[in-house]
Amino acid sequence: MTRKPFKVQAVATLLGISVDAVRRDSDDAGLQIERQPGDGPKTRLFSIENIFDLAAYRAKKFGITAKAKRIVTVYAPKGGVGKTTQTSNLAALFALMGLKVLVVDLDFQANLTISYGYDPELTHTEAKDTGLPVSTCVDYHLGHLLPQWQNSGQLPRLNDVLKKPFGENGPHLIPSEVTLDRLEALFTVDAIMSKKPELAIARFLAENRSGRNLDIDLSQYDVVMFDAPPAKNQTTRGALLASDYVIAPVSMEKYSTKSVSYLAGVLSEMQEEHNRYPELIILGNFYDMTRVRVAAQVIALTKQYPKAWLDKQISSSEEFKKVLSDDEGMPLALARPSSTAARELREVAKVLIEKMGVL
Ligand SMILES: Nc1ncnc2c1ncn2[C@@H]1O[C@H](COP(=O)(O)OP(=O)(O)OP(=O)(O)O)[C@@H](O)[C@H]1O
Ligand SMILES: [Mg+2]
């Protein structure tokens, strides 16, 4: 996969700083940045990795550290509302703020994994035959890190599982592929043995965020984000129970209200059974001012969660589709920083981080 390089202006837009600051800080950080070849001006050409490295350098320089570490699930029981798209964009934008971000693909259809440039169906032999790096293949997923799976003999370490699509300082990914589906069956066995499978993900995080387990050390991550499938399954419930927040994209059409009321129901069930539930954040996606009536209905429906509605939204934009075909492996917020959609996404990312008390 060859990625287009970024000029200074695009880097400045992505980081929300001046072009002078980009030049100065990238020199000070000692980043290895390519220069435009030929006789013309030797313009800097940043790789996406350079940009995340610069973001991390600036976070260190200005002493930006997370006030609180958060676990977030992006979930709505309705398909196609933008869960995966907005997870991939927001994870990248959080990392550009200088945060350490881990995204976990919980959908065996692996759209998030694919959107970051990996191919869950590619075999190692095919990769070698076609000259693709074997890192394009997906060998492991979250299931392989859980005790349920380890009983079947496989014991990868976190580093064997992790993907780093934009380098060390970009978001890290626990990818997915089709065998993740087996996790549901393993959870069902647990349920029969009264082992509370819905708490497996919460336990996994609690045990590995302390940094004591060197094989699976999650202590560095400020934000852990789960991209949940639309399925109402045990894996999704497990992620929700493990989370501080649930971001629910709603697509502003008439079935949105159904989806939100189902989710509200799940949260109150969790409150009853486990005495906890993640705080609800509703994100208007495919936002359209002419459909404010739907928004009003959603707001009315969530009266018990008065602060749930996020006051920044993401409009419907053709750019999301274009990026899928033109900028393989890159979310829109990175590929087209000057687009309206990217600007809206940056605003959403900012208010989310404030609302979740991370910065
Ligand atoms: N704001 C938007 N404007 C236009 N298209 C969008 C927008 N948000 C998402 N899309 C497009 O909608 C489609 C579905 O998005 P996505 O896969 O993120 O949804 P999802 O909720 O994760 O779906 P699933 O329930 O299948 O997991 C994709 O083609 C995506 O590019
Ligand atoms: Mg999805």
Q: Is 230 in the pocket of ligand 1 (CB under 6 A)?
A: yes
Q: Are residues 24 and 101 in the same domain?
A: no
- Average pLDDT of the segment spanning 201-206: 96
The stretch 41-67 carries a mean pLDDT of 96
In this structure, the answer to whether residues 124 and 152 fall within a common structural domain is: yes
Asked if residue 241 and residue 163 are part of one domain, the reply reads: yes
How much is the pLDDT for 217? 97
- Work out which ligand 1 atom sits closest to the CA atom of 319: 4
Decide which of 28, 43, 63 is a domain's last residue. 63
State which amino acid sits at residue 230.
P
CA distances from 81 to 197, 283, 286, 352 (A): 27, 10, 8, 18
> Does residue 84 line the site of ligand 1, with CB under 6 A?
yes
Q: Based on the domain organization, do 329 and 290 belong to the same domain?
A: yes
Whole-number Å distance between alpha carbons of 93 and 77? 25
Which one of the ligands is nearest to 105 CA? 2
Q: Is 320 in the pocket of ligand 1 (CB under 6 A)?
A: yes
Cα 268 off chain centre by: 25
pLDDT at 292 over 80: no
**Å from CA of 67 to ligand 1 middle:** 31
Taking every pair of Cα atoms in the chain, the longest distance, rounded to a whole number of angstroms, is 71
CATH number at residue 36: 1.10.1660.10
- Say which CATH number the domain at 232 has: 3.40.50.300
Q: Are residues 58 and 183 in the same domain?
A: no
* Sequence-separated (6 or more) residues with CB below 8 Å from residue 291: 252, 253
Q: Mean pLDDT throughout 46-52?
A: 98
| pLDDT number for residue 227 | 98
* C-beta of 116 in contact with ligand 1 (< 6 A): no
Is the Cβ–Cβ distance between 33 and 61 less than 8 Å? no
85 CB less than 6 Å from ligand 1?
yes
Q: Where is pLDDT greater, at 51 or 257?
A: 51
| 163 and 35 housed in the same domain | no
Q: Which residues contact 302 (CB under 8 A, 6 or more apart)?
A: 260, 264, 280, 282, 308, 309
Residues present in the chain in total: 359
Structural domain that includes position 9: 1-63
Are both 284 and 342 inside the same structural domain?
A: yes
Distance CA 259, CA 243 (A): 19
- Domains of the chain: total: 2
pLDDT, residue 293, reads 78
Sign of CA dihedral 22, 28, 30, 36: positive
Tokens of 304: 């018990």
Is residue 183 in contact with ligand 1, taking CB distance under 6 Å?
no
**Cβ–Cβ under 8 Å, residues 343 and 88:** no
Residue 146 DSSP label: S
Q: For ligand 1, is residue 229 a contact (CB within 6 Å)?
A: yes
* pLDDT tens track for 160-194: 999 999 999 999 999 999 999 999 999 999 999 99
**Separation of alpha carbons 65 and 45, rounded Å:** 28
Atom of ligand 1 nearest to the CA of 285: 1
**Inter-helix orientation angle 83-96/340-355, to 10°:** 70
Q: Are residues 78 and 177 in the same domain?
A: yes
User: Does any ligand 1 atom lie closer than 6 A to the CB of residue 313?
Assistant: no
Q: What span, in angstroms and rounded, lies between the C-alpha atoms of 183 and 145?
A: 11
Q: Given pLDDT bands bounded at 50, 70 and 90, which one contains residue 290? A: confident
Nearest alpha carbon to residue 173 among 72, 91, 81, 281: 91
Is the separation of the CB atoms in 263 and 246 below 8 Å? yes
Nearest-atom index, ligand 1, CA of 79: 25
Q: Residue 152: its pLDDT value, please?
A: 64
Secondary structure, 3-state, 238-294:
HHHHHCCEEEEEECCCCCHHHHHHHHHHHHHHHHHHHCCCCEEEEEECCECHHHHHH
For residue 108, what pLDDT is reported?
97
CA of 207 from ligand 2 middle (Å) equals 27
Which residue, 11, 30, 63, sits at the end of a domain?
A: 63
Coil, strand or helix at 103? strand
pLDDT in tens, 224-269: 999 999 998 999 999 999 999 999 999 877 777 788 889 999 999 9
pLDDT tens figures, 305-353: 888 989 999 999 999 999 998 988 999 999 999 999 999 999 999 999 9
pLDDT grade for 154, boundaries at 50, 70 and 90: low
| Of the candidates 281, 335, 339, the residue with the CA atom closest to the CA atom of residue 313 | 281
Ligand 2: centre distance to CA 35 (Å)? 38
> Does pLDDT of 300 surpass 90?
no
Which residue has its alpha carbon closest to ligand 1 atom 14? Answer: 80
pLDDT tens digit sequence for 137-151: 999 999 999 988 876
Same domain, 337 and 217: yes
- Residue of 65, 67, 163 whose CA lies nearest to 113: 163
> Are 183 and 234 found together in one domain?
yes
Are 150 and 81 in the same domain?
Answer: yes
**Integer Cα distance of 139 and 122 in angstroms:** 10
Residues 31 and 117 in one domain: no
pLDDT at 76: 95
Residue 153 has what pLDDT? 67
DSSP-assigned beta bridge partners for residue 74: 227, 247
Mean pLDDT computed over 23-27: 97
Instruction: Tell me the pLDDT tens digit for each residue of 55-92.
Output: 999 999 999 999 999 999 999 999 999 999 999 999 99
Nearest CA to 227 out of 210, 249, 206, 209 is that of 249
Query: 34-35 and 44-45: which strand pairing?
Result: antiparallel
pLDDT digits (tens, 9 = 90+) for 101-149: 999 999 999 999 999 999 999 999 999 999 999 999 999 999 999 988 8
CA distance 200 to 296: 37
Report residue 201's pLDDT band, with 50, 70 and 90 as the boundaries: very high
Where a domain ends, among 48, 63, 78? 63
